[in-house]
Amino acid sequence: MRIAAMMGIVPFSVKRPRIVTIGSPSPLHDSYRLPLSMDIGLYHYHMLPATTPVEELVKKLNILKPDLLRGFPSMLGLLASEQLQSRLQINPRFIAGGGEALTEEMRQQLKVVWPKSAVFDIYGTQEGIRSMECSPGGGMHLFEDLGIIEVVDEHNRPVPDGSLGHKILFTNLFSFTLPIIRYEISDMVTLDTEPCSCGRPFRRISQINGRNDDVIYLKSRTGDQVAVHPVQFWDVLESFREIRQYQVVQECDGIYLHLVLDNGNEAVIDSIRERLGRELQALGVSKPAIHVKPAATLGDRSGNMGKWKNIISNLNQTPP
């Protein structure tokens, strides 16, 4: 309810707001349990599994007409493409991404498709971390009354605010059934160095760079290894509106980009390859081999709690 209130969604205001969450099909996942817990009459709450075919999701959303559309950003990107093709016809007042990183490129794409919608980012974990923006793009306030969040390096040493951490150590302050004390979470985050002008005392997450186990190591020009963070791929691939869905796979002979493109947009493949190549070379990577594989579909989401894993390494990597 605090998250909804920070977006401006008030229960019983004029009419009960209609909230649709596209989340995990697994009852073990937070995005499945939360709608069940919230469906107590304050809102009209509907949960749709992210593993549902896009065509079926479009039909259901056209009937439900949500005031708030919440889902994994990769799914929101697919739905934005459906809206552009006029198959999806909804106009939510609020859009919220969660469960995956919501990049600035994706946020801008969603704003282009739904210009009257406020696009928020939500960050949370199964262990109890909750974080929410007080304004779109303003950084996510950590609910520090619910837990102690320590941003640390590889050796569990605290990193200063403004610096990227390697992981999080989290202590839950409300779970009495199963105490969680300095539990290791692989998300790489940066905390803002300044307090928020909104007046809330909670610190803010200014950046999420994915998980440390999603980092890919590539050979540098000097023969060493370069750590390529997921955000390096996100920034490039999500800037191409022709890409509906993507997956980056590291193999022994290079990087493979598996892309689902809008019909008739195969002409952008060379531009995608060239731009990603320039980005990797700017990081010091030595002549990266980039292979682009257009695909009609990239498979289902059922193996990862309904989330989409878009960075995969099939090599046994040892960080430098």
d(CA 291, CA 276): 11
Beta bridge partners of residue 225, listed in sequence order: 219
Query: Among residues 213, 262, 251, which one has the least CA distance to residue 78?
Result: 262
DSSP state string for 26-71: -TTSHHHHHHHHH-SSSSEEEEEETTS-HHHHHHHHHHH--SEEEE
83: left (phi over 0), alpha (psi -120 to 50) or beta: alpha
Sketch out the chain's domains with CATH numbers: 1-124 (3.40.50.980), 138-208 (2.30.38), 215-313 (3.30.300.30)
pLDDT of residue 33: 76
Tens of pLDDT along 201-240?
A: 999 999 888 888 888 888 888 878 888 888 888 888 888 8
Given this model, what pLDDT does residue 37 score? Answer: 76
List the Cα angle 9/15/20 in 5-degree steps.
55
Report the candidate in 261, 255, 270 with the shortest Cα–Cα distance to residue 297. 261
Taking the C-alpha atoms of residue 131 and residue 204, their distance in angstroms, rounded to an integer, is 8
Inter-CA distances, 195 with 121, 134, 161, 202, Å:
18, 12, 11, 8
Q: Specify the pLDDT at position 12.
A: 67
CA atoms within 13 Å, Cβ hemisphere of 182: 4
pTM value is: 0.82
Structure confidence at residue 309 as a pLDDT band (50, 70, 90): confident
pLDDT digits (tens, 9 = 90+) for 30-89: 777 777 777 777 778 888 988 888 899 999 999 999 999 999 888 898 899 899 999 999
Start-to-end C-alpha separation, the chain: 44
Q: Which residues contact 110 (CB under 8 A, 6 or more apart)?
A: 76, 77, 80, 95, 117, 119
Lowest mean pLDDT among 2-6, 23-27, 127-131, 286-290: 23-27
Higher per-residue confidence, 23 vs 89: 89
Structure confidence at residue 317 (pLDDT): 62
Q: Distance (Å, rounded) from C-alpha 55 to C-alpha 106?
A: 21
The confidence score (pLDDT) of residue 191 equals 96
d(CA 281, CA 283): 5
Count CA within 13 A, CB hemisphere, residue 49: 12
**Distance between CA 238 and CA 220 in Å, rounded?**
25
